[in-house]
Structure 1
Amino acid sequence: MQFTIDGSQYELTQESVRTALASREPGTINTYSIEVNGRAFPVKQALAAATGLSHDAFQSPRAQRILSALGFPVHGTREGKDEQAPTSSRARRQAIADAARPVLETGLHQRPSVFDGATITWTADTASALRRALETSDAEGTFRERLLSQLAGQTRAVVLLAAELCFLQRLPLLNVRAETKRKLLQDILDVLADGLQLPDEIVDALATPGTFHGGQGFNQQIPQHVQWLAHFVELWAQLPDQTRLEAIDDPWAFRSRTLDVESDAAPMRNSLLALLWPSTFESIVSTSDKEAIREAFAAALPGRRDGTEQHDVDRDLLALRDRFDANGDLDIDWYRSPWRDEWRMAEPNPHRRGWVMAEARHGEALSLRRQTTRPNFHSSRGSIRQEVLGAWNEQLPITDLLAQIDAATAYLVTMQVGDQIFVRSSDGIRVGEVGDLDPIRERPVTWRDPVSPADLPHAVLDILDSSPTIAEVDFLMPTPDPRLDLPTPVRLPRATPEFAERLHYEKTWLDDAIDLLEERRQVIFFGPPGTGKTFLARALADFIAPEGAMKIVQFHPSYSYEDFFEGFRPTVDENGTATFRLAPGPVRLLAKAAAENPTVPHVLIIDEINRANIAKVFGELYLLLEYRDADVALLYSPEEDFRLPENLFVIGTMNTADRSISLVDAAIRRRFAFVELHPGEEPVRGLLDRWSSANDHDVSRGALLRQLNDRIGDLDRDFQIGPSYLMGRSARTSAGLARIWEHDILPLLDEHYYGRFTRQEVRVRFGLTALVADAAGDLDPLDDTGILSERDDAASE
């Protein structure tokens, strides 16, 4: 099959895709997957491996179409060892509807309850009795306690109906565990004398991932929701048979029946409609959210063009979905970007920002000339969106249109006078201060002298290289102009695709780590040896801070407060007399630099943080790690108040093979966020395979490392071996691999198993030859040339 991306043509066969995936570790499946040799691969990973392109070159719908044309069955669910978890918005909605069907089918058709297969529960008398029981006012305690008290002495049908309605109310909630849902229903059934247990069908249904977070309001409203459902059942049972059949076949007729219930509980009604008609009604329980979405995109509603307006929010949302995504390729989830950005984005805070624009050129004013959508002057995103959507002729894909709305909003509304713009030029990086919009929607720029790329963090350089239409960068160059010294919150940049590719990590994982560092300001990467803790810490520091704004120190048993912060050092005065002077340590020096440049992130890396007496080294800095707005008197400078600047971030590394995290000082554990890097968990687990693939190595050591760590086992989890030992060039030859095993890996295991295994027993159990032999052909065998033979690693996965 042939296809074209960015003007280049590619040709694929099913066999070429299978070959490309044979030695790769499957990535995390977010939407669609294909199965190759019993393993599930994300569709974007499959095509990236086969073409050499990045994942970003493919949208899931495009990748799905290509792989389907090649003859691969494409799945819309995550394939795993446990239950199948739907991953697309459409699949999640349908899965939860299928899970609700056993109760709704039997109830709406007035058949025996799925709970016991014999009792008909959806009758007017049963629903009326349940409503009266729920209105009992003398019951006290939690909802569960009150409900069980109210059901005591009720008929079997009433108890089963209560279980069914609680099932419908709890089922679609993402923020309630399946175990909690099961326990409530089983407690209800335990009211009955015959010890009725939850049917397997219901247990399986409750394990289905939900579709929305109910929030505090939805959870607290469960009594009212069950009351509303009981009232609905009562009215439903009194309808003529033909009316019920018509409503079962027509979503709008069914909705009319739900609106007949007095004291409307809109969230429960919206949830019930989505359970029954997932392709017609959105899985949105908040009516205000529905209206906000409709209003945000109202200009695209057909009726708005001819002067008429529709007032049915459900029909309007369905019309928007049909217009934006007629083929279902976009799999719209209104609560995710880019859709959520249009109806729930907060107004931008008035602070200085940095920007990168593809059109920006040194010496020229800024503009959006290259963008096909160039709205007029506006004061808000909403007015820009209304103008652009109102003129949309559907020739431009809706996602591209939303991207242009985002760019226009950034340029016309969010960008302010005094912001900085970064551009590449022949003599380095140019930084300019942005001026106000002129009558032709251009922004003049006051350009400054060039700066070296080393003065900028890699995050800015990555974004410059990607040439975005317009992108905000969470970085500002220090400016000598005091008029522009406005208070600016220090934000760390999000991971770029280039950064993730350099580290062979998933971008989402890196974003989470950066978010955690931004929120807590102190994190510790911990794990067994060889998991890349220090490498990751230094890479993050280089990414978020420019050269000179990072310091690294290594703790050891004799490291002290005086080494770390400040202390007296021996020196010789001008008279040649030996004396002592108070000298700052790396923390004090970095804090001073950070205070002088408050818009620039500064990073302190503490390697092997657990090898020193942490309490002694930090001293009074303990308080400042938790309270950045506090001042403390210093040990050697008591007359001076000191505080840690907001823009100083601390990254520690800790080897769990040296010392368990549980032994670290409790005060430090409270002040640092801990992030585990472990060979058995992503992102470390597949790192060696991803690195081998990115470097076009013929073989990967991933299977060999997994074999070793499986043999070490979970009991010695903190002593498993990380991939760094096998990421050097020498690991590609049998001789080099043998040296690594003999001089790096086995000595670690000798030390760990000292007193448990002899040196010989360690080699018999964990030696390279033993692993290859015991793997029964699953690992890459060594050959006589010194190079591992090229073979498929897939069998060892």
Structure 2
Amino acid sequence: MTTDSTAITPIDLPPIPCSHRPSEEPVRVAAAMLLHAARYGGSVLTDRDVWTDANIDTLISHFVNQPDVSGKSFDDKLDIQLDGVSDDVRLLFAEIYLLQMLPTMQFHKATKIKNATSALRNAGIDYQIPAEIDEAFDHPVFWGGVAFAVRRFQQLSVLIEFVRYLRTFPETEIAAAYDDPFAWRTMVNNAPGTSEPSLRSCLTFLGHPKFFMSIVAGHHKKQIVEAFFPAVTGCVSTGDVDVDLAKIRYWLQEEPGDTPDFYHGPLESIWRPDEVADIDDVPAVTTEPDDDRRESSYTVESIIEDGAFHSASELRDIITRWHETRNIVLQGAPGTGKTWLARRLAFALIGDRIDDAVRSVQFHPGTSYEDFVRGWRPGGDGTLTLVDGPLLEHAERARQYPDIPHVVVIEEFNRGNPGQALGEMLTLLERSKRNPADALELTYMREAELAVFLPENLYVVGTMNTADRSLALVDFALRRRFAFFDLEPQFNDAWKQCLRARFRGVDADLIDELAVRIMAMNDQIAADLSLGPSFRIGHAYFTPGLEAPDLATWFTAVVRSSVEPQLREYWHDDPATVNDVVDSLLSGI
């Protein structure tokens, strides 16, 4: 398919008078230069050949596969990630960075240049920003939204992965993608990496800017199409928002390649007549131009800084698997910090502390499908109303803001009956079922409502206490749709350092001895055939708060008021064993 109007069935009505966006030609020219280098090699900053398979593989290993090497600023982390790579690799990264920022209004021109060349500050190489890219930076074409600020690492990773993916195709297929907007869109959307819909929409636009509209917010595209088809255009929607937007463009353009302005004037009044213009339109966060501080403001390192005793690699493995499955369960003994960790993992998954993107619920024996998914509720007038529960409510919010992962935290996941509470959501939660083709009718449907599917950016994390025998077992169908992670009691160096920092001046050997005693107690619990590892006592019991007066007083109180009662439940018919364990814990304290 070509990118001119002959590929689109025309709208046979007089065009609506409207304004058009400023010329996008500078961005189109600059994008073509960078995408030419991605296809054929070369460089836009020098006369070297930096777009090579070897350099791309180096970026995969040093950047993409090292997502959180420190809790420092993006530039400082970049110095660590690119330490030891060649100048050509640094040049390649800088040019990919240029591509990521090229069309956005997110940052001022000076900041874009500073960002892109940050990779080159330790390189001994001469380079120059081409006039075409310099001019494109003066003429940005859209506001990218919060994802271009807080998910910069993920977006750059997707671009790097895309270039490697592109080069796996034979030249005939690459040529087809560069000629055919739909082949290009398919290649962009199928490239590996996290979903990043705004970035992929941006890359789709940059590949065929005279066909695809310079709008990257998926919910805006959908709202525009729903408003114009058929009410304004007299045509039925094709079902493809990009095709429908192209039809509108060819209908309203004055010159080939003109872009109608949907964010001002008469066109905006059609698709959102009752809303105040908000090009960013993001949840619970305002991103100003040049707000470089918002990049990855919550990371794995942030979890550790908040007080986690787990290793960065362990936490990163959980998040990586979470991206793959969309659904995980944190399970473990009492006091292993499951609930505390779940919410922080959610923020690290998002890349920022966006509270509205995380919703917590707690299951209990009475939790039903009607409570969690959808059910009838009595209204003030005595009538029943069909009301969405927290899962569908949060799914709808995730659908409205597809660039931001949205998380449902289910505490005490197995305290109720998960299968009963989830109903058909058990199928719809599965990663492979999150598409219109696998949509299902719900137990309670509204009039004229279509079958339902869950959005790609909805994530679920459950927490399970493995020691409570009264809790429901999780069936195999549910286990297949969730990845399970065991959280172990952590009485490691990080835990010891926490105690040393809280109780300054205390002999370090004493804290080491306490760790030995606690682990000996847990070993005894784990070895008991009537108990086992799931009944060990977690580190949350032994982590002091600010109110703890001194080590001896605090530790004794914890053992007497929290640990000893638990042990007496465990060994209710063996008080002598409990006395021995408690005496061992408190000896000499």
The alignment's TM-score, normalised by the length of structure 1, stands at 0.40
Distance in 2 of aligned mates of 1:500 and 1:421: 34
Could you say if the C-alpha distance between residues 478 and 346 of structure 1 is closer, same or farther in structure 2, counting changes exceeding 3 Å? closer
Determine if the alignment matches structure 1 residue 568 to structure 2 residue 383.
no
Distance in 1 of aligned mates of 2:115 and 2:415: 46
Equivalent residue, structure 2, for 1:583: 387
Shift of 1:707: 2.9
Query: Does the CA-based 8 Å contact 2:334-2:537 persist in structure 1?
Result: yes
Distance in 1 of aligned mates of 2:62 and 2:553: 58
Shift of 1:448: 8.8
Deviations 1:628-664 (A, max 9, x none): 2320101111643111111111111000111499932
Determine if the alignment matches structure 1 residue 665 to structure 2 residue 481.
no
Alignment counterpart, residue 534 of structure 2, candidates 708, 718, 721: 718
Query: Does the CA-based 8 Å contact 2:63-2:81 persist in structure 1?
Result: no
Query: Does the CA-based 8 Å contact 1:560-1:616 persist in structure 2?
Result: yes
Aligned positions of 1:696-735 closer than 5 A: 697=504, 698=506, 699=508, 700=511, 701-715=514-528, 716-729=532-545, 730=548, 732-735=550-553
Q: Which amino acid aligns with 1:637?
A: M
Q: Which amino acid aligns with 2:369?
A: Y
Q: Which amino acid aligns with 1:602?
A: H
Determine if the alignment matches structure 1 residue 748 to structure 2 residue 566.
yes
Distance in 1 of aligned mates of 2:471 and 2:86: 45
Aligned positions of 1:211-610 closer than 5 A: 341=58, 358=75, 400=83, 402=85, 404-413=87-96, 415-416=99-100, 438-439=130-131, 442=134, 444=137, 446=140, 483-485=214-216, 495-502=299-306, 503-545=308-350, 546-572=354-380, 577-610=381-414
Distance in 2 of aligned mates of 1:616 and 1:441: 57
Determine if the alignment matches structure 1 residue 633 to structure 2 residue 441.
yes
Shift of 1:766: 2.6
Shift of 1:422: 6.5
Q: Which has the higher strand share?
A: 1
Distance in 1 of aligned mates of 2:148 and 2:329: 21
Equivalent residue, structure 2, for 1:689: 496
Distance in 1 of aligned mates of 2:417 and 2:565: 26
Secondary structure of 1:603 counterpart: strand
Shift of 1:549: 0.7
Equivalent residue, structure 1, for 2:557: 739
Q: Which amino acid aligns with 2:553?
A: A
Q: Which amino acid aligns with 1:587?
A: L
Could you say if the C-alpha distance between residues 486 and 423 of structure 1 is closer, same or farther in structure 2, counting changes exceeding 3 Å? closer
Distance in 2 of aligned mates of 1:525 and 1:501: 20
Query: Does the CA-based 8 Å contact 1:565-1:586 persist in structure 2?
Result: yes
Distance in 1 of aligned mates of 2:463 and 2:365: 15
Distance in 2 of aligned mates of 1:504 and 1:458: 29
Shift of 1:708: 2.2
Query: Does the CA-based 8 Å contact 2:105-2:142 persist in structure 1?
Result: no
Shift of 1:596: 1.3
Query: Does the CA-based 8 Å contact 1:457-1:547 persist in structure 2?
Result: no
Could you say if the C-alpha distance between residues 631 and 408 of structure 1 is closer, same or farther in structure 2, counting changes exceeding 3 Å? same
Alignment counterpart, residue 574 of structure 2, candidates 757, 760, 771: 757
Alignment counterpart, residue 770 of structure 1, candidates 573, 577, 584: 584
Query: Does the CA-based 8 Å contact 2:334-2:467 persist in structure 1?
Result: yes
Query: Does the CA-based 8 Å contact 2:467-2:535 persist in structure 1?
Result: yes
Could you say if the C-alpha distance between residues 549 and 343 of structure 1 is closer, same or farther in structure 2, counting changes exceeding 3 Å? closer
Q: Which amino acid aligns with 2:93?
A: A
Could you say if the C-alpha distance between residues 342 and 623 of structure 1 is closer, same or farther in structure 2, counting changes exceeding 3 Å? closer
Query: Does the CA-based 8 Å contact 1:608-1:654 persist in structure 2?
Result: yes
Distance in 2 of aligned mates of 1:712 and 1:343: 45
Between the aligned residues of both structures, percent identity stands at: 27
Determine if the alignment matches structure 1 residue 618 to structure 2 residue 349.
no
How many residue pairs were aligned?
369
Q: Indicate the RMSD between aligned Cα atoms, in angstroms.
A: 4.9
Determine if the alignment matches structure 1 residue 677 to structure 2 residue 491.
no
Deviations 1:611-639 (A, max 9, x none): 00111101011111222232010111164
Secondary structure of 2:455 counterpart: coil
Deviations 1:393-427 (A, max 9, x none): xxxx9974516544432331363466668779xxx
Q: Which has the higher contact order (CA 8 A, sep 6+)?
A: 2
Distance in 1 of aligned mates of 2:84 and 2:141: 31
Distance in 1 of aligned mates of 2:497 and 2:427: 41
Distance in 2 of aligned mates of 1:554 and 1:398: 40
Q: Which amino acid aligns with 1:409?
A: L
Q: Which amino acid aligns with 1:711?
A: Q
The alignment's TM-score, normalised by the length of structure 2, stands at 0.53
Could you say if the C-alpha distance between residues 671 and 501 of structure 1 is closer, same or farther in structure 2, counting changes exceeding 3 Å? same
Runs of 5+ consecutive residues of structure 2 not aligned to the other structure: 1-40, 42-53, 65-72, 117-128, 162-192, 203-212, 220-295
Query: Does the CA-based 8 Å contact 1:528-1:656 persist in structure 2?
Result: yes
Secondary structure of 2:331 counterpart: strand
Distance in 1 of aligned mates of 2:309 and 2:148: 19
Shift of 1:744: 1.6
Equivalent residue, structure 1, for 2:182: none
Secondary structure of 1:558 counterpart: coil
Q: Which amino acid aligns with 1:439?
A: A
Shift of 1:483: 2.8
Deviations 1:702-728 (A, max 9, x none): 334213213323332111001111112
Q: Which amino acid aligns with 1:725?
A: Y
Secondary structure of 1:740 counterpart: helix
Distance in 2 of aligned mates of 1:709 and 1:721: 6
Distance in 2 of aligned mates of 1:547 and 1:599: 15
Q: Which amino acid aligns with 2:373?
A: F
Could you say if the C-alpha distance between residues 676 and 457 of structure 1 is closer, same or farther in structure 2, counting changes exceeding 3 Å? farther
Shift of 1:673: 0.7
Secondary structure of 2:214 counterpart: helix
Secondary structure of 2:567 counterpart: helix
Equivalent residue, structure 2, for 1:158: none
Query: Does the CA-based 8 Å contact 1:495-1:507 persist in structure 2?
Result: no
Deviations 1:716-768 (A, max 9, x none): 211100111111232843232222222222222222333x324xx3541332x
Q: Which amino acid aligns with 1:551?
A: R
Secondary structure of 1:646 counterpart: coil
Shift of 1:559: 0.8
Query: Does the CA-based 8 Å contact 1:478-1:600 persist in structure 2?
Result: no
Query: Does the CA-based 8 Å contact 1:678-1:685 persist in structure 2?
Result: no
Could you say if the C-alpha distance between residues 493 and 341 of structure 1 is closer, same or farther in structure 2, counting changes exceeding 3 Å? farther
Deviations 1:441-460 (A, max 9, x none): 54617499999xxx789976
